[in-house]
Amino acid sequence: MHLYGKPLLIGMYHEIVTLRCCFLTLKTKVDSSLATMDKTHLLSDQDGASGPGRSYGTCTDPNMEANDGATAPPADMMPVVPGYENLGPNVIPPSHFGSSQPQAPPRAPERRFDIPAISEELAQEAFTEYVSSKCCYSSKPVKEMVFTDLQSLNTYRYRLETFTESRTTEWDSEPYNGQVVDGFGVAPEPWSIPVPVPSLFKNCKKSVRVPHTSTVKGCHSCLNLGRSACRKCVNSGRTRCGHCCGTGWISSSERRRCGLCSGSGMVRCHSCGGVGSITCKTCKGHGKLLCFIKLIVTWKNNIHVSVIDKGSGFPLKLLNQITGEKLLTDMAPMVYPVVSFPDHSVNAASESAVREHQAQFCTTCRILQQRQTIELIPITQVYYAWKEKTHTFYVYGTEHKVYTKDYPATCCCCSIL
C-alpha cells in the first residue's frame, strides 16, 4: 500500500475503534437499565400469587403504580434561557422590594377598653352547665357555694396577617404530539409575568408556563422509543403461573398438569400482553416531550399572634378557639405599628411583629396586603367558698366557657387520674 495512505488508514481505524467503544457503552447502559429495572419485581411480583388454587393476577402490578405524568429531562440536557439560569426551589427576589414604608397615622384619642366582670347569675349558670357535662363531678359545690369575689382580667390578643406572593421556576414537560412550540423571542422576567391574585389572606398556589421557553426533546425515560420495559415480566413477556406456582402441575401427588399454562409453568404477561414493553408513561407513547419553564406562584397568609396576659395563671392555649371582642382592625398594603393603644404591651407587640414581618418578607416576597387586629378576650376569675374553703374557676370568652384546675368534689377515679 502507498506510504501516504497509511496515516489515513490508521486515523480511520482509530475512529472506528472510538465509535465501537461508544456503541458498546451505550448498549451496556441500555441493557443495564432494562435488566435491572427492578429485579425485585421479577421475583416478588411473579411469586406473589403463590399456592395452588389462588387466582392468577391477584398480586400488585408494578406498571400500575401512580405516575404524575410527564417530567422534564435532567437539567444538564436543557438549554440555558437568559434570565432563568438558576432554576430550582429557591424563591426569586422581587424586582422591587414592595411599597415604601407606611406613614404613621394621626394619633387617636386614648380610650379605655375595660370589660366589667360578669354577674354572679351568669357565673352560676356557666359553672352549672360545666359541672353537668362532667360525669364524675358532684353538683353539691355548685348548689351550696357562696361567691366571695369576681375579678375581671383584661386579656388582649394581637394578630398580624401578612399576605405574600413568592415565585420559583423549574423545567416541566408534557407529551409532544405536534402542538405549537413557543420557543422564539425573549422570555419575560419571572416577576414581569402577570398572574391574577386570588382572594386575599388565603393560601393558594398556581403554575404558569413561561412564554418563549418551549423546546422539543426526546423522551429521557424511554430513549425516544415511546415504550418502556414492562416491570411485571422485566421485558420477557412471560410471568410465572400463579395457578401452579410455576411448577406446571396442579397436584404433585396426582401429577395433574396445569391447564392454565399447559404445564410450562409460565403464562403470558397480562400487564403487557406478552409484548414485554408498555406505553411510556412519561411521553404517552410519542417518544418526544415538549419542555418548557414553569413559573410557580405561591400566595401565603403569614400569621403572627401575641396574647398579652397579666400573669393570671389562666392557660393561654385554651384561647386558641375562643372569640373575643374586636377593638381595632387596620388593613393596608403595609400597616404601621399600633402606637396609641392604652395598654403599652399591645403597642410593643405590634411594633415587634410589624418590623419582623417586613424584614422577613420584603426581600424574598411581595407583600400584597397586611391586616392587624386587636381583640379583648373577657376572662373573669371567680372566687367562691364551699365547706369553709376558698376555691376558684374562670369564665372566659364570649362563649362563657369554664376552666377550673381543682374541683372540690370529684369521685375517686377522677382523683386518681
Whether the predicted pLDDT of 369 surpasses 90: yes
Query: In this structure, are strands 266-268 and 401-403 parallel, antiparallel, or unpaired?
Result: unpaired
Q: Do residues 193 and 295 lie in contact, with contact meaning Cβ atoms separated by under 8 Å?
A: yes
Task: Tell me what pLDDT residue 383 has.
Answer: 94
- Give the model confidence (pLDDT) of 229-283 as tens digits: 998 898 889 998 988 888 888 876 667 888 888 888 899 998 898 999 999 999 9
Bigger pLDDT: 270 vs 32: 270
Task: Tell me what pLDDT residue 52 has.
Answer: 39
Q: How far apart are CA 335 and CA 371, in angstroms?
A: 7
Q: How far apart are CA 111 and CA 109, in angstroms?
A: 6
In the numeric block, the cell 421485558 is attached to 235
Q: Which residues contact 138 (CB under 8 A, 6 or more apart)?
A: 409, 410, 411
- Give the model confidence (pLDDT) of 328-365 as tens digits: 999 999 999 999 898 899 999 999 999 999 999 988 89
Task: Tell me what the mean pLDDT of segment 134-156 comes to.
Answer: 90
CA angle 314, 317, 322 (to 5 degrees): 95
Q: How far apart are CA 242 and CA 237, in angstroms?
A: 15
Task: Tell me what pLDDT residue 65 has.
Answer: 67
Nearest CA to 391 out of 400, 399, 403, 379 is that of: 403
Task: Tell me what pLDDT residue 87 has.
Answer: 86
Task: Tell me what pLDDT residue 250 has.
Answer: 81
Task: Tell me what pLDDT residue 88 has.
Answer: 84
Whether the predicted pLDDT of 134 surpasses 50: yes
Mean of per-residue pLDDT scores for the chain = 81
Task: Tell me what the mean pLDDT of segment 26-31 comes to.
Answer: 46
- Phi, psi (rounded to 5 degrees) for 166: -125, 155
- pLDDT-derived band at 401 (thresholds 50, 70, 90) equals very high
> Which H or E element spans position 376?
strand 366-386
Q: How far apart are CA 88 and CA 85, in angstroms?
A: 10
Q: Do residues 143 and 104 lie in contact, with contact meaning Cβ atoms separated by under 8 Å?
A: no
Q: Do residues 187 and 84 lie in contact, with contact meaning Cβ atoms separated by under 8 Å?
A: yes
CA 89 to chain centre: 14
Bigger pLDDT: 47 vs 287: 287
CA 225 to chain centre: 34
Task: Tell me what pLDDT residue 406 has.
Answer: 84
Whether the predicted pLDDT of 12 surpasses 70: no
> How many CB atoms within 10 Å of residue 130?
19
Whether the predicted pLDDT of 131 surpasses 90: yes
Query: In this structure, are strands 288-308 and 389-396 parallel, antiparallel, or unpaired?
Result: unpaired
- Give the model confidence (pLDDT) of 165-179 as tens digits: 999 999 999 999 999
Whether the predicted pLDDT of 221 surpasses 50: yes
Task: Tell me what the mean pLDDT of segment 155-162 comes to.
Answer: 94
- Phi, psi (rounded to 5 degrees) for 43: -90, -55
Whether the predicted pLDDT of 104 surpasses 60: yes
Residues 355, 356, 360, 361: what is their CA dihedral angle, to the nearest 10 degrees? -60
Whether the predicted pLDDT of 306 surpasses 60: yes
Q: How far apart are CA 289 and CA 214, in angstroms?
A: 10
- Give the model confidence (pLDDT) of 377-388 as tens digits: 889 999 999 998
Task: Tell me what pLDDT residue 114 has.
Answer: 63
Q: How far apart are CA 108 and CA 327, in angstroms?
A: 13
Nearest CA to 320 out of 392, 399, 381 is that of: 399
Task: Tell me what pLDDT residue 293 has.
Answer: 95
Cell numbers describing residue 188:
419575560
| Distance spanning both ends of the chain, measured CA to CA | 104
Whether the predicted pLDDT of 395 surpasses 90: yes
Q: Is the pTM of this model over 0.75?
A: no
